[in-house]
Amino acid sequence: MNRPLLVITICFITGIVLNAAWGFVPGVLLLLALVCMVVVLAGCIFNRWDNRWFIILLFIVLGWFVAGLDSIQRPDGPERFAGHFVSVDGMVAREPDVRKNYTAYIVAAEAVWLGDKRVDAGGLVLVRIYGGGSSCNYGDYLRVKGFLYRPGEPGNFGAFNYRNYLARRGIYCLMNVDKPDSVQILGTGGNPLVRLALQGKQRLTGVASLTLNEGQAAVLAGMLFGNTGGIDQSVKDVFSQTGVAHVLSVSGLHVGFVLAGVLLLATALGLPRRVVPALALGVLVFYAVMTGMGPAVQRAGIMGLLVLMAVYLGRERDWPSTLALAALVILLFDPSALYEIGFQLSFTATWGILYLMPKISAFLVKGWGWPRWLALPLGVTIAAQLATLPLLIYYFNLVTPVAPLANLLLVPLVGLIMLLGFLGSACGIVFLPAAAIINAGTGVLIDFFTGLARLISLLPGGYSHVATPPWYAVAFWYAGLVGITELIGGRLVMPPNLPAPLCWLGTHNRRIRMASVGLAVFLLLVIFWPWGGVGGRLQVHFIDVGQGDSILVRFPGGRTMLVDAGGRMGDPEDSRGVGETIVVPYLHRLGMDKLDVLAVTHPHGDHAGGVPPVAEKLSVGALVLSGAPGYEALLKIVSPLNIPVYRVGAGHALHIDKDVEVTVLAPARELSAASEEELNDASLVLRLEYGQVSFLLTGDIEEEAQRDLLGSGARLQADVLKVPHHGSRFFEPEFFEAVAPGYAVIQVGKNNRFGHPAPETLEALNSTGAVIFRNDRDGAVLFTTDGWDIEVQTAR
């Protein structure tokens, strides 16, 4: 068997995937594994048959079995008490994650208190403590009191599944603690080595925060240890848009710098060769613990040590086997790591660098005459980008053509920043003024780094968002990359007796080059194809933004309109978060970088709160508002973006698509001043007609505005009604009767404090015969129509 480690690892991964697809039946798998082992042993003893297929089957079964064991949920976990205020006793199992508004702790629970009753309950709980900084550390035994709940399922198509993300880490419930004084420290425990490593990290980052400004210290913590909680979102965006986000999450680059430092130190001290691998192992394990033992760190550490040992032992180095062994070791202990984005990006990037980089660099040197000192680093970054491109598109919808340039210019600075930052912080533990002197230079370098990254991100066409491709497009990409590389390298052997049209492939270099170019074009078409396009139809997406409204209209001609962008009442920062974390990613998953029209029905936070991040992160052609007052704060925020603003009212038409009529039915009058309740009745009401199908989007209009519409003579009947004001009890029954919808959509959040939708509203809608959809129950709702028929999809 050629490269057995590679084959075994592929088989083990296959078993993990089969467990996800078909479930876990331990008895059958154990019996099958036992049979395979007996056959393999018998084959070895008697040498009567070829064992290869039984070994392959054995490791598939082992992967399946290990993944199945890992996915079993404990029946006595604290999630049994979700939905209640309880107290939990347990130990802080990881380093605290300090964020701007809260600190998150992963607590290994031992018991739950229901009043005075103690119930044993083992399992991990993610505890978020609001209103104070981090006062607890790894190993502290706590008693925390708060509301225990299960994470919700994603409400939008293709959205990140936070519940599954936590479940892969063994976390099935969360707790919110509103006051820091609801936390008691009962004692200290944990692993002494882990505690020492995290205390050392805490002291280093503490020195950095004393000798650098807040932004610089946060970036340094990200580069040194992968802590990104304190980094401003705008800085994270710039790093993502330039393709250098990997410098903020500890990866092979950082481990390489650490390993290089160890080797330089060992050489400077004249240490014996036999001591170096043990020293490197100790430093890398200590560093991995400090950074949280992420998959990328584990992969880089294992590979680095194996290569180092091979060099010192004089053994042959085989990167496919080394990469496979690193993956096998990680997956043996944590099979769910296979589904982690960090695991996938780390291994694909490494594969690209080791497999593609030599060919790309050789091509740049021989084909273009580039000097080796430039061709090698450029080849590394191009190879890594090609290898990770489909995953970046699949998970983040992001394409960064400037990434090779950015990595070429910025990555060399990372090593220097890490070196100076570590030296400064280490010196500061002994003598703080020395850290201030060293970190003065470190701060300048960090500012230069972020400034250059920001400048590169502003280059025209530097980044764009594309629609999420299907999984098989990703598989095509990797198969195609291998095919092109093997074709050009002359290692793709054509089987005999090929069909006549394919025989010419193996007969001429020029034809091989033509085939490679054709395959490359095909791959680009597959990965950049506008998957999920409208196909000449009208799409209306009722996005799940919780307790708020956001409706995306994609017109048959390709133009787009967003009506409201969600948000939350009374909390401007939280409102922005809804736009930034829900609406913008939803649009990006559809491949959208621009909106032709952004309409805001009225200036309440649950409709307008998410507008600023949408306007900042997408190119908006026009901002459409009603004539109501209250938009001043919003206009002040978006005014630097120079978006044309239009005030509209009843009788106006929006000319967006030649085949779809968009008519403004309300408000009929302008208000110079209005109360909160009157602003609801001043909402924009839009009617969309495409062929024989119509939609009525009503904002938050209540009884008075509904009566005005009934008396206006406007055509109200519609196939799809966006139910006014989240289904509140303030409605006119005659209005629903006049609309007579076939479908009614209520944009409402789960367990909202307003009691929406009201029972009487649901009863009135039911009396019209409408099929009712609700975001809190059904998630996002998508209507697609060709002007005659209507298709409906829900995210849940």
pLDDT score for 226: 82
Q: Say which amino acid occupies 672.
A: S
Cis peptide before 757 (omega within 30 of 0): yes
Interatomic CA distance for residues 422 and 260, integer angstroms: 14
**Residue 673 pLDDT level (bands cut at 50, 70, 90):** low
pLDDT score for 504: 43
Cis peptide before 667 (omega within 30 of 0): yes
Q: What angle do CA 283, 416, 414 make, to 5 degrees?
A: 85
Interatomic CA distance for residues 337 and 341, integer angstroms: 9
pTM for this entry: 0.88
**Residue 283 pLDDT level (bands cut at 50, 70, 90):** confident
Locate 376 and state its tokens.
Answer: 């090698």
Q: What's the pLDDT tens digit per position in 445-465?
A: 999 999 999 999 999 888 999
Residue 95 vs residues 194, 292, 319: alpha-carbon distances, Å: 9, 8, 33
Contact assessment for residue 125 and residue 142, using Cβ atoms and an 8 Å cutoff: no
Residue tagged 């680059």 (tokens): 253
List the single range of 173-177, 270-274, 311-315, 705-709 with lowest mean pLDDT.
Answer: 311-315
Mean pLDDT of the chain: 87
Give 76: exposed, middle or buried? Use CB within 10 Å, 0-12, 13-18, 19+.
Answer: exposed
pLDDT score for 42: 76
Evaluate if residue 168 carries a pLDDT over 90: no
**What is the mean predicted confidence (pLDDT) over 67-84?**
86
Contact assessment for residue 197 and residue 98, using Cβ atoms and an 8 Å cutoff: no
**Residue 507 pLDDT level (bands cut at 50, 70, 90):** very low
- Give the residue, 605 or 570, on which the prediction is more confident: 605
Strand runs labelled E in 351-406:
398-399
pLDDT score for 352: 92
**Residue 671 pLDDT level (bands cut at 50, 70, 90):** low
pLDDT score for 92: 94
Percent of the chain exceeding pLDDT 70 equals: 92
Interatomic CA distance for residues 198 and 95, integer angstroms: 7
Interatomic CA distance for residues 785 and 534, integer angstroms: 10
**What is the mean predicted confidence (pLDDT) over 556-574?**
80
Evaluate if residue 497 carries a pLDDT over 70: no
pLDDT score for 505: 47
**In Å, how far from its chain's centre is CA 611?**
21
pLDDT score for 514: 63
Distance between the two ends of the chain, CA-based, in angstroms? 46
**What is the mean predicted confidence (pLDDT) over 118-126?**
92
List the single range of 57-71, 577-591, 705-719 with lowest mean pLDDT.
Answer: 57-71
Residue 644 CB contacts under 8 Å (≥ 6 apart), including other chains: 621, 622, 623
**What is the mean predicted confidence (pLDDT) over 703-713?**
92
Interatomic CA distance for residues 224 and 424, integer angstroms: 12
Evaluate if residue 510 carries a pLDDT over 70: no
Q: What's the pLDDT tens digit per position in 730-787?
A: 999 999 999 999 999 999 998 888 889 999 999 999 999 999 999 999 999 999 999 9
Q: Parallel, antiparallel, or unpaired for β 645-647 and 623-625?
A: parallel
| DSSP three-state, residue 713 | coil
